[in-house]
């Protein structure tokens, strides 16, 4: 992008998120762009850029760029994930489990949502570790 395009885009983003970003955000973006042009490694995605900022400790130099990147990474592109989470909760909290505590409900929801990861867990290690803990 040209510097003028970066300026306009950063200005628009600042106007939308005035409470999260500072007035210096626009200049910070321009300086960050020139920094990216001068380094050998060019990030290919927003996650790479955020990782590169952490790795090279650039968060202190460009704090508002770091905040904007984290806001972008945390904002869902669609609401499908949130809707899927609520439908998962509906399946977990059935009539028979209506007295379940919120901590247990949250734990069950996470296990259900991350089912691919849960299937990869070696439960024998967890059982062994739990059995080694002394009884109360």
Token reading at 101:
């505590």
Same domain, 97 and 44: no
Residue 22 DSSP code: -
Question: In the prediction, which pLDDT does 79 show?
Answer: 61
Same domain, 8 and 51: yes
Same domain, 64 and 101: no
How many structural domains does the chain have? 2
Q: Which of 71-75, 94-98, 114-118, 125-129 has the lowest mean pLDDT?
A: 94-98
Residue 108 belongs to domain spanning: 80-132
**What is the phi-psi region of residue 87: left when phi exceeds 0, alpha when psi lies from -120 to 50, beta otherwise?**
alpha
Q: Is the pLDDT of residue 95 over 60?
A: no
Please report where in the chains the tokens 């202190």 appear, as a residue.
60
Would you tell me how many other CB atoms lie within 10 Å of the CB of residue 113? 16
When pLDDT is averaged across residues 33-46 and rounded to a whole number, the result is 82
Same domain, 65 and 118: no
Same domain, 85 and 34: no
Higher pLDDT, 84 or 96: 84
Q: Is the pLDDT of residue 12 over 60?
A: yes
3-state secondary structure of 98: coil
Q: In which band, very low, low, confident or very high, does the pLDDT at 131 lie, cut at 50, 70 and 90?
A: confident
CA distance 5 to 26: 11
Token reading at 126:
């967890």
Q: Is the pLDDT of residue 87 over 80?
A: no
When pLDDT is averaged across residues 117-133 and rounded to a whole number, the result is 84
Same domain, 67 and 84: no
Question: In the prediction, which pLDDT does 97 show?
Answer: 62
Boundary of a domain, candidates 27, 48, 74: 74
Same domain, 122 and 85: yes
Q: In which band, very low, low, confident or very high, does the pLDDT at 106 lie, cut at 50, 70 and 90?
A: confident
Same domain, 70 and 21: yes
pLDDT tens, position by position, 20-35: 888 888 888 888 888 8
Same domain, 63 and 93: no
Boundary of a domain, candidates 41, 59, 74: 74
Boundary of a domain, candidates 74, 99, 122: 74
Same domain, 40 and 92: no
Residue 2 DSSP code: -
Q: Is the pLDDT of residue 70 over 80?
A: yes
């Amino acid at each position: 992008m040209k510097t003028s395009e970066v300026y306009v885009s950063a200005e628009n983003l600042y106007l939308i998120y005035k409470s999260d970003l500072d007035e210096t955000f626009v200049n910070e973006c321009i300086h960050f762009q020139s920094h990216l042009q001068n380094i050998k490694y060019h990030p290919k995605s927003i996650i790479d850029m955020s990782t590169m900022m952490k790795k090279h400790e650039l968060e202190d130099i460009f704090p508002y760029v770091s905040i904007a990147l984290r806001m972008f990474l945390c904002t869902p592109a669609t609401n499908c994930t949130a809707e899927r989470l609520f439908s998962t909760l509906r399946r977990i909290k059935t009539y028979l489990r209506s007295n379940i505590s919120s901590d247990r409900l949250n734990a069950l929801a996470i296990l259900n949502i991350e089912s691919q990861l849960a299937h990869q867990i070696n439960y024998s290690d967890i059982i062994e570790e739990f059995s080694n803990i002394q009884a109360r």
